[in-house]
Amino acid sequence: MTDMPVGERQPIAPPSDDTGILGWARKNLFSSWGNGLTTIVLIVAMVWILSGFLEWALFTANFTASTGSECRGGGACWALIREKFRYIFFGSFPYEQHWRPLFAVIAMLAMLVLSADRRMWNWRLLVIWGVGSFITFLLMFGQLHIPLSLMLFVALAGGTIGLMMRSAVADPTERSAYYALIVIGLVGLVLRIFGVLPSWSLAIAPLSYVETSLWGGLPVTLILATYGLLFAFPYGILLALGRRSNLPLVKGLCVGFIELIRGVPLISLLIMASVMLPLFLPSGTTIDKFLRAQVAVILFAGAYIAEVIRGGLQSLPKGQFEAADAMGLNYPQKTLLIILPQALRVVIPPLINTFIGFFKDTSLVLIIGIFDFLNTANQALVDPNWAGFPGEVYLFAAFVYFIFCYSMSRYSKYLEVELNKGTRR
């Protein structure tokens, strides 16, 4: 055997049946007799099922019928979806104004997509959600009346939170701005309570008013899920921190609350909110049904999120807490700068899991007569002119739900990779 000079050694290409599609198939699908047989059987089964499905869903389907009876006998009746999709998406919202919920949905989606980007995770997030929510609710309600007391409360809350979070890093101008906000809010609220300030509200009314009982379809599902989780998240964090608190009263309250909420099904909370609560209120006073459902969802989601986050808190080594203490950070600083960023990163997968669960759980509001996306789809089935095609309607609803849930799950994957860059070797 003669030695070849080093520079002339040529790697020989692997045998042709080890590469390409053929090679891949041989390695993964036909590596043994048993595997080969399984592959063939499964392929045949898949083709059989798929051809049946396509035959029904595509080749013999009816896309153009004008009544349900024309549709009968053939394949899928997609004409039903064509007839009903506006109702399924927007419910009883006035028909000629459907552009409003449409743009509200777009605004909400834009808001969600924008805040998915990590570069936005700073003051921009507040702006995005502020503007996005304003647009969404302005479009849905048509008119917003912002009472003075709410504005004062927001000023007070904004000042307090800003001062707490940024007291260490803020320059004197910023700090005095926070103090000014707190003073304005506090003084204004006190004056308002004693009746010195009138009950004035800022009216923004470019469109006709549409009340929540007319809302339906996708906007309802999105609002219930988005705002349910938006409010449940900070509140869940507070519960989780409270549960680990050293103060027995705070700890007891948080534990009691979490266990109480987690111990009952969401349905029972919703029924409580819709059936029991009105009986406890003075007669004549009613709280909007939609708001009641929203609050029930927030309470419920908060308890679950709290437990997920507690898992993250417990996974942190004790050294992190001690190191933060050693640096002289106070409790808010320690929590916000050291503990939560690490704890939340750990719990992203279970957190998104909870989010996806709640997005779908919002459909339970149908038992209290709120017409979310699934319920409007159900309503489309009741119409005697079009009844008898549950498969088509539910497939359509499932498809829309899948789009949302699958994008959330992909996002969680991306976020895990993004946030764990620092810990990967």
Partner 1 sequence: MQARLIVAAAGLAAFVLGASGPAQAGKDLDAVKARGMVNCGVGTGTAGYMIADSQGKWRGLSVDVCRAVAAAIFGDSEKVRYIPLTSQQRFTALQSGEVDMTMGNATYTLTRDTALGFDFTGVYYYDGQGFLVPKKLGVKSAKELNGATICVAPGTTTELNLADYFRTNKMTFKPVVIEKVDEIRAAFFSGRCDVYTTDASSLAATRAANVPPPQTIDDYMILPEIISKEPLGPVVRHGDNQFADIVRWALYAMIEAEEYGITSKNVDEMLKSENPSIKRILGVTPGMGKALGVDEKWVYNIVKQVGNYGESFDRNVGMGSPLKIARGQNALWTQGGLQYAPPIR
Sites of contact with partner 1 (CB under 8 A): 68, 72-73, 83-84, 86-87, 90-95, 192-193, 195, 199, 211, 213-214, 216, 271, 274-276, 278-279, 281-286, 289, 366-371, 375, 378-380, 382-385, 387-388, 390
Q: Which is nearer to partner 1, 41 or 367 (CB)?
A: 367
Least spacing, CB of residue 323 vs partner 1, in Å: 49
Least spacing, CB of residue 296 vs partner 1, in Å: 14
3-class SS letters over the chain:
CCCCCHHHCCCCCCCHHHCHHHHHHHHHCCCCHHHHHHHHHHHHHHHHHHHHHHHHHHHCCECCCCCHHHHCCCCCEHHHHHHHHHHHHHCCCCHHHCHHHHHHHHHHHHHHHHHHCHHHCCHHHHHHHHHHHHHHHHHHHCCEEEEHHHHHHHHHHHHHHHHHHHCCCCCHHHHHHHHHHHHHHHHHHHHHHCCCCCCCEEEECCCCCCCHHHCCEHHHHHHHHHHHHHHHHHHHHHHHHHHCCCCHHHHHHHHHHHHHHHCCCHHHHHHHHHHHHHHHCCCCCCCCHHHHHHHHHHHHHHHHHHHHHHHHHHHCCHHHHHHHHHCCCCHHHHHHHHHHHHHHHHCHHHHHHHHHHHHHHHHHHHHHCCCEHHHHHHHHHHCCCCCCCHHHHHHHHHHHHHHHHHHHHHHHHHHHHHHCHHHCC
Q: Which is nearer to partner 1, 347 or 366 (CB)?
A: 366
Q: Which is nearer to partner 1, 58 or 281 (CB)?
A: 281
Least spacing, CB of residue 286 vs partner 1, in Å: 5
Q: Which is nearer to partner 1, 78 or 304 (CB)?
A: 78
CA distance from start to end of the chain: 44
Q: Which is nearer to partner 1, 385 or 420 (CB)?
A: 385
Q: What is the number of alpha carbons within 13 Å of residue 176 lying toward its C-beta?
A: 2
Least spacing, CB of residue 81 vs partner 1, in Å: 11
Least spacing, CB of residue 84 vs partner 1, in Å: 6
Q: Which is nearer to partner 1, 85 or 401 (CB)?
A: 85
Least spacing, CB of residue 174 vs partner 1, in Å: 33
Q: Which is nearer to partner 1, 400 or 415 (CB)?
A: 400
Q: Which is nearer to partner 1, 88 or 352 (CB)?
A: 88
Question: How many other β-carbons are positioned within 10 Å of the β-carbon of residue 301?
Answer: 27
Least spacing, CB of residue 203 vs partner 1, in Å: 18
Q: Which is nearer to partner 1, 352 or 366 (CB)?
A: 366
Least spacing, CB of residue 247 vs partner 1, in Å: 33
Least spacing, CB of residue 369 vs partner 1, in Å: 4
